[in-house]
């Protein structure tokens, strides 16, 4: 669930939370701001609360912990999706947040193979949160064209379509890149479905992390998990 700042009126989030609690959901993911009211409701039900700040800082992590978060997801600048605005890489921000809180930390951003998992754990993370790698899975509904685009693409070729998002380089992405460089604010969010889901690469954007060079084939989710967690699976 997305967490607006306390004091804002978000009827949708509150409704989703109420229904989820009534249905006995025991794990919640909060994204962006710490909403103290929602946090209290979740903790009153003794549910597990995982919090992910879009732009992680030690101060934000400490606040989330003090308000009842059980796990912190730490997002590095390497990630796909909405890029943190502090421009700190995953393997720089992870130990910073690990040192700031006493609850488990999960690392995310550019983790596509077991080497990334191992590095995250060495730096103090107790779990990883993986996105881009699972786009290139058999089960993902993304177009096969999109999956092959990610396999073919290299990190050095990615373009910024805004301060919040990067994409593989195709017609619309190039146009958005030009607009961004010229100080305009393109609305690239509306272009996710054509590129990510439908494989219309010139009509949308394909948002990925910066470690795509190591993604070389489509695999099942089971095989991806086994590869990522090989050190922990007996």
51 touches 30 (CB < 8 A): yes
Cα-only R_g, the chain: 18
216 touches 113 (CB < 8 A): no
Q: Which residue has the tokens 């995250």?
A: 120
pLDDT tens across 46-72, in order?
999 999 999 999 999 999 999 999 999
* Phi, psi (degrees; rounded to nearest 5) at 66: -65, -25
Question: Is the backbone of residue 49 left (phi > 0), alpha (psi -120 to 50) or beta?
Answer: beta
> 3-class DSSP state for residue 230?
coil
User: What pLDDT shows up at residue 76?
Assistant: 97
71 touches 51 (CB < 8 A): yes
- With 90 as the cut, is the pLDDT of residue 104 above it? yes
User: Rounded mean pLDDT of 33-42?
Assistant: 93
Confidence of residue 189 (pLDDT cuts 50, 70, 90): low
Confidence of residue 190 (pLDDT cuts 50, 70, 90): low
Confidence of residue 185 (pLDDT cuts 50, 70, 90): confident
User: Rounded mean pLDDT of 195-216?
Assistant: 96
Share of the chain above pLDDT 70, in %: 94
User: Rounded mean pLDDT of 120-142?
Assistant: 97
- With 80 as the cut, is the pLDDT of residue 234 above it? no
Task: Report the distance separating Cα 53 and Cα 84, nearest Å.
Answer: 9
Task: Report the distance separating Cα 70 and Cα 60, nearest Å.
Answer: 14
* Alpha carbon distance, N-terminus to C-terminus of the chain: 34
182 touches 190 (CB < 8 A): no
Q: Quick one: which H or E segment has residue 63? A: helix 58-66
pLDDT tens across 19-30, in order?
999 999 999 999
Which residues, including other chains, have CB under 8 Å from residue 53's CB and lie 6 or more apart?
32, 60, 61, 64, 72, 75
Structural domains in the chain, sorted by start: 2-131 (3.20.20.70), 135-214 (no CATH)
* Phi, psi (degrees; rounded to nearest 5) at 150: -65, -40
Question: Is the backbone of residue 195 left (phi > 0), alpha (psi -120 to 50) or beta?
Answer: alpha
């Amino acid at each position: 669930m997305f967490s607006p700042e306390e004091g804002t009126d978000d009827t949708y989030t509150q409704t989703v939370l109420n229904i989820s609690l009534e249905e006995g959901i025991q794990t919640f993911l909060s994204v962006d701001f710490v909403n103290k009211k929602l946090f209290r409701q979740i903790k009153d039900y003794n549910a597990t609360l995982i919090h992910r700040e879009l732009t992680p800082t030690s101060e934000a992590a400490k606040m989330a912990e003090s308000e009842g978060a059980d796990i912190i997801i730490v997002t590095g600048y390497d990630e796909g999706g909405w890029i943190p605005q502090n421009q700190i890489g995953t393997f720089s921000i992870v130990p910073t947040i690990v040192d700031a809180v006493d609850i488990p930390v999960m690392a995310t951003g550019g983790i596509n193979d077991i080497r990334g998992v191992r590095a995250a754990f060495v730096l103090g993370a107790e779990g990883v949160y993986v996105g881009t790698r699972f786009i290139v899975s058999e089960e993902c509904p993304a177009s096969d064209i999109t999956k092959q685009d990610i396999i073919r693409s290299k990190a050095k070729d990615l373009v910024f379509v805004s301060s919040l998002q990067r994409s593989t380089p195709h017609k619309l992405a190039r146009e958005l890149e030009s607009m961004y460089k010229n100080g305009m604010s393109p609305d690239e969010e509306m272009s996710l479905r054509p590129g990510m889901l439908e494989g219309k690469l010139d009509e949308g954007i394909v948002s990925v992390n910066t470690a795509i060079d190591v993604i070389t084939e489509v695999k099942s989710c089971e095989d991806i998990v086994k590869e990522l967690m090989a050190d922990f699976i007996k």
